[in-house]
Amino acid sequence: MAHVRPNCKNPSTSISWDENILSMVDDFRFENRIDNRSAAVQKLVRMGLKYQALLEKKRERELARG
């Protein structure tokens, strides 16, 4: 469950990261000139979810074809 702070509109949560993945997130952040780690993680999650949706649509089309 996320925590909502009274002075912030966005819920927050703590996540444990593997050191290598955290390094990759930071590399992505700096390569794309993203202001902070939170914004970088949000962008990566959105991209991953969009990719997952595309894979699901592709799988549904392939199943419909037979």
Pick the closest to residue 13 from 1, 22, 25 (CA basis). 1
Local structure of 12: helix, strand or coil:
strand
pLDDT tens digits for range 6-63: 888 888 888 999 999 999 999 999 999 999 999 999 999 999 999 999 999 999 999 9
pLDDT at 51: 98
DSSP-assigned letters across all residues of 18-57: -HHHHHHHHHHHHHTT-SSHHHHHHHHHHHHHHHHHHHHH
List residues bridging with 52 in a β-sheet. Answer: none
Return mean pLDDT, the chain: 92
Q: What is the pLDDT of residue 1?
A: 65
pTM metric for this prediction: 0.79
Distance CA 11, CA 6 (A): 10
